[in-house]
Chain A
């Protein structure tokens, strides 16, 4: 039993951190928030460092690393709230392609992803008020040489900055994970409309498919893509958890720095126990969130029996507890923390967004209960 990172993993994490800092750190997120599209710039840099190749299998020109290793990258990305479909491409799409893709599809897409030439996202929701998998409603109708997609997907991350989108659709009437077929389509075939979002570092879109005919786009079996989708969503959850853990670690650091430097009543405020104890509690939750996330990533990578439980544990804990922790960080900074210029709200908004995007904390707790009880 050894629940520590290897030297190599530690070094990789440090080099990602140094690299992202050298690229401007959280300034990238700031520029994205202010309306600039920095995804190309971010991605070119990541590609130069070979990071998009991390989870791509070796035979397709990647580095073949598992979800745990990838989580370390996400953790550092989360520390600076890095814009770009990193979790969607590396955490979600790559393993899904590797699992379900035909040789031809894998040849076509995986090396391109590894080289940084292809980015991907996922279009899950047809109804933003419904939870998964019931929110997957779009119907795909067979045509002579493919399928016809008709309907509007919503809450699609980075739809205008990616080359492909995973689109689950119904090929058989059902509301669960049965009867789902996955398609890997070019979003240019659909009409994209950007939504006004809480988290402005990660744009969301409505994607309207107006009887779009696709051929060769089916990913995996007809009617039978739900199972793989479910596991891909688990991996996406862990990827987001890892980003939140990085953000939480950063929030603790920021609160500590401010606690040392800001003085009131002739003392650094970090000397007051009200502040000190709040930061100590933030640290506790960060460490707990990190343990749960690493374990979930490891459990998925090693196909452990308790992987699904582990994912739900990490997901509700990271989204709910880290969300509260980001509020505490803002609070520690007083009125300054409440300003747009202070970075605290960037992380908070991300946590609030993710807390509901892939299963609410309550849904994840229910899932744990259903497995455990």
Chain B
């Protein structure tokens, strides 16, 4: 057991740090992290950032070099995560493509598909969305109903997807469709790549509780996609949905960001006063801060433990610790931040103290998306601890 980094690893850290310090938007490191309010300007801003990342070689360090990555080792990926958490860079426009679509294409795609799609994911030229959920299909993905009918040289798609992040600006949709409903529900699912720019595809943006509109309902009315856009075999999409990502990717954790959040909160408590006394002098607040300090360290240390196991090649289902534990700590931390805002916590936008209200709301989606906290507890109960599966499975 050790917590040291080699000279080579430290050099890599410096390289990342220097690049970010040079290339982050003006004022970003100093704490001016506002994105443009106007949607078009924001898109332009994010597109520009993604372009810079790509040029710097940082868009997907875990991808193989032949597709524009760096073949980064798990340790390098960890260091990269740490450095990103330190500077809290702008969101990555190609994140969905890099993290979820690219690996699926790499793992299941034909050579033609890889050549056609992977480079443009990385340079941000093409944006992707993913069609998983449907109005009646949430955690139980295998019961999906959106239909794709084989017409010889193409599939004709009818149905609806929902909660589709970025569908309103995506060029492509990587989606799961029902091609056969005669057998068990896990069979007869087909993974398709579908061009979003066609008459048969329309979308309606969903207004979220944060007043953002990143989610969509997407309607497929006789949309089509050519046969060459099938991923894996027809009817064998479940395998694509369930498999481990193919690029060796370090497991991710919110804990590194939470550490920075905590530092920011401590600063806030030192500067903010009530009745002339800084919040940080209130014994109750001090104790709560210590509690968060501990829980965040527990999250981070357990993350390090799991990452170390991953590096040694023996990380199992216990990797599911992070999503649940971290998001619960985050939920409590953000609620606490809202409370510390005082009466002013009634305000929104730039006037919201510490921006806490929005963080607190946004964290709810982290607890729901990508397998709800309830599903995470099922996974832990069944896959880590070996408890009997429920009736639903």
Chain A interface residues (CB < 8 Å from chain B): 1-6, 68, 252, 256, 259-260, 267-268, 270-273, 276-277, 279-281, 283-284, 287-292, 294-295, 298, 309-310, 312-313, 316-317, 362, 364-369, 372-373
Contact = CB atoms under 8 A, between A and B. Distances in A.
B387 A292 contact: no
A373 B1 contact: no
Contacts of B324: 280, 284
Interface string B295-335: 10111011011011101100000100100110000000000
Contact of B289 (A280, A362, A369): A369
Contacts of B321: 284, 287
A61 B78 CA distance: 42
Given A288-B295, A365-B291, A366-B286, A1 B388 contact: no
Interface in B328-368: none
Contact of B266 (A276, A295, A366, A373): A373
A280 B385 contact: yes
Contacts of B304: 1, 3, 291
Interface of B: 1-5, 75, 78, 266, 269-270, 280, 283, 286-287, 289-291, 293-295, 297-299, 301-302, 304-305, 307-309, 311-312, 318, 321, 324-325, 374, 376-378, 380-382, 384-391
Given A2-B1, A3-B1, A366-B286, A259 B298 contact: no
A279 B289 contact: no
Contacts of B295: 288, 317
A1 B301 contact: no
Contacts of A281: 377
B263 to A, nearest CB: 10
A292 B305 CA distance: 11
Report the 4 A-B pairs with minimum CB-CB distance, sorted nearest first: A291-B301, A288-B298, A276-B381, A368-B290
Given A1-B3, A1-B308, A271-B391, A280 B377 contact: yes
| Dominant secondary structure at the B interface | helix
B340 to A, nearest CB: 14
Given A284-B325, A373-B286, A294 B387 contact: no
A256 B387 contact: yes
Nearest to B79: A1
B381 A372 contact: no
Contacts of A312: 290
Contacts of B308: 1-4
Contact of A260 (B287, B377, B384, B387): B387
Given A2-B311, A256-B387, A271-B389, A372 B305 contact: no
A259 B386 CA distance: 10
Contacts of A277: 374, 377-378, 381
10 contacts: A1-B78, A2-B1, A3-B3, A3-B304, A256-B385, A287-B325, A291-B302, A294-B1, A365-B290, A373-B280
